[in-house]
Amino acid sequence: MPSGHAIEILRWERLPLAVPLVVGQERVVFIDRNVRVGLPASLGGRLRVQSAGGAIYLRASEPIAPTRLQLQDVESGAIILLDIGAEYAKDGETPLEPVRIVSTDTAIPREGATAAPGPTEAAQPGVRRQTPVPVILTRYAAQNLYAPLRTVEPALGIGRVNLRRNLALDALLPTLPVRARAIAAWRLEDQWVTAVRLTNASSRWIDLDPRALQGDFVAATFQHPNLGPAGDSTDTTVVYLVTRGRGLAGALLPELSPIDSGANLPPAAAAGGASDAR
């Protein structure tokens, strides 16, 4: 972009921002955050949206009545609302300049800056939060997986965490016939929440009890209290596991080898020498 090109500055203060478009012209919206864009189905193929490197590229292929878009910060979950509309260019009208969105909302700090805590959640080390961290994490994870995009509440300090691929969870609920797979994780301060999908592998209903979970967890919450028979629409749910100081992989109990095998025992024990210890 030429250095002399004007940029329109829009300040996000929890009121929808108007971003008009011209049919056939691309307009760039700079936000300097990693965001995902929520589009209403009514737009169909009339609006092309691309996002890269903190910039969003909008191009309308035909006129669009006033419509609201949602930009969600991938890390914090905070949402910015854009009101767009597209018309044909008028004679002699200059192209619309790019837009830069700046925010006074502490839930979306500028990159490299440290945001001040909001009025209800203390962020300084050693200061107690009004809401316990496990509750904040569990609520945030559940909203991200189950709630509509527009209802996800911003949560200062929460970041997405990469999961280890093919994490073995066979020992998580060893007494129940379920398949478990970790699907997402987030971190706040020294605590992690991992969302684990549970699927019933049996033909009967299963009641879910946190006491059946095997591992070192600060908190565990099931999205639903039970699982329906395999193949039923109710055969799958999610459990949210909160751990402290480490992710889920470090909180799982080690899997035990069969006790009737002497393959991993010292030679004397495998030969029966352990009988003297009785």
Q: In this predicted model, what pLDDT tens digit does every residue of 117-146 receive, in sequence order?
A: 333 343 444 445 678 899 989 988 888 888
d(CA 120, CA 141): 19
Regarding predicted confidence, which is higher, 36 or 82? 82
Tell me which CATH code domain 8-103 carries.
2.60.40.1080
d(CA 214, CA 224): 19
- Please report which confidence band the pLDDT of residue 150 belongs to, taking 50, 70 and 90 as the band edges: low
Q: Does domain 159-251 have CATH number 2.60.40?
A: yes
d(CA 105, CA 233): 40
Whole-angstrom CA distances from 238 to 56, 115, 182 are 33, 32, 9
Mean pLDDT within 193-222? 94
Neighbouring CB atoms inside 10 A of 93's CB total 11
Q: In this predicted model, what pLDDT tens digit does every residue of 87-107 receive, in sequence order?
A: 999 888 888 899 988 875 433
Neighbouring CB atoms inside 10 A of 113's CB total 8
- Please report which confidence band the pLDDT of residue 206 belongs to, taking 50, 70 and 90 as the band edges: very high
Query: Does this chain's domain 8-103 share its CATH topology with 159-251?
Result: yes
Domain ranges, ordered by start, for the chain: 8-103, 159-251
Strands ordered across the beta sheet of 79-87: 17-22, 79-87, 64-73, 35-38
Q: Provide the whole-model pTM.
A: 0.52
